[in-house]
Structure 1
């Protein structure tokens, strides 16, 4: 049976999601690092001395360094998803509010505009696109934070290059499309036109404030750019700590001979 694509993505994005098990046996510390030399199944068991980290002072030092790196990797990962979630919540809230104001006021008519204060054929897809992307990102951020809290110590620090690349490339495309979609007949572009200001003066800002809607949507686009920049920065930090973590783990395996 072909593998489930969604399960494959989660298994690549969240360490420990999959059920794959190693074909070797080894003793592990609370930090998830080997205390014994790995041996094949049905092979001879490691001796007690081989499984004693105190038997090697160097191994004990490496174990302590690994614990510190693991904590920083976890902090960087949690901070990345937490702030990414906050930025996404801001964008989705802004898009929902703009959409709400559009549907609430689109039937208000004036003498020279019987179709309402908005363009006759209003383009909504840029707003819906940014809202949908923000909802998905905030839900993924929440899922990753929950997984990070519930994950065992052995798998607490993780970095997924696949997820980071999808996240960054996806938001670059979304930010670009949202900006390209700005025109005289979409919600953002129309809110910033001189015609919209005249309609606002005619109806009153308490009825329809195009100026505030223009600023809100412009801020949302800037936040989408910040989302990309922040993800690149935090992913670079997470990658650095993850690389150091793997290097220390390899050294400990080599140290056990």
Structure 2
């Protein structure tokens, strides 16, 4: 491979790397914003419940707070991870970048897999609890309860209407997080293909170089033998 072709390949690789970095930044930024919103919404409804739970008749007698806490924890962990990745991508030369890469990049694919599973489980658990509470009329979970007429009468105390709406938004954002994770895996596949193509090109270049060297070596070795056998010396 000549210098010009090698330079073109390096430029193409650099452009691909920049595009992949931009995609990663967009992915991490969107995921961080959604995680922040989910954590804020779920934290708000839980603390509303916690601060008013002693007031009689404001909440179910046996409330089910597990779906709310589960989604809050998943969103909070995801926010930390995506925040670390943003620091690593946007400020790679700062003293915090090494720390961020250690937390976020060291186990990127493991954490990404856990995020995908976590948001899938929390979305299913939250919606299943909502549907069960709504269908049975018991409404033990905080989401379905805040959407009832009974809770609406206590709106001044527990902000039922806004908490109902924000929990719907949290569920939708959790589904959006799943879509972002699928997008992230697609970006990872592109990065893997780019690396594979670069390694294949380098291997081909090394193979051609070795083949050319072998041919030249054989030609050089054949010339003295020809002279010795024929006694002819080329002019």
Distance of 1:235 and 1:214 partners within structure 2:
32
Number of residue pairs matched by the alignment:
189
TM norm structure 1 = 0.66
Distance of 2:142 and 2:69 partners within structure 1:
11
**Once the 2 structures are TM-superposed, how far is the Cα of residue 230 of structure 1 from its aligned partner?**
2.1
Alignment map for 1:132-147 (pairs within 5 Å):
132-147=73-88
In terms of fraction of residues, the more helix-rich structure is 2
Structure 2 residue runs of 5 or longer lacking an equivalent are: 134-138, 208-235
**Structure 1 residues 255 and 162: CA distance shift in structure 2, 3 A:** farther
Contact 1:77 1:238 in 2 (8 A): no
**Once the 2 structures are TM-superposed, how far is the Cα of residue 161 of structure 1 from its aligned partner?**
4.6
1:124 match = 65
Quick one: which of 191, 194, 212 aligns to 2:146?
191
Distance of 1:250 and 1:164 partners within structure 2:
28
**Once the 2 structures are TM-superposed, how far is the Cα of residue 123 of structure 1 from its aligned partner?**
1.0
Structure 1 residue runs of 5 or longer lacking an equivalent are: 1-52, 109-114
Q: Which has the higher contact order (CA 8 A, sep 6+)?
A: 1
Distance of 2:28 and 2:171 partners within structure 1:
19
Distance of 1:60 and 1:230 partners within structure 2:
34
Alignment map for 1:1-257 (pairs within 5 Å):
56-108=3-55, 115-148=56-89, 149-150=91-92, 161-182=109-130, 183=133, 184-197=139-152, 199-200=153-154, 205-257=155-207
Distance of 1:132 and 1:88 partners within structure 2:
10
Distance of 2:122 and 2:116 partners within structure 1:
10
Distance of 1:226 and 1:124 partners within structure 2:
23
1:25 match = none
Q: What is the RMSD of the two structures over their aligned residues, measured on CA atoms?
A: 2.5
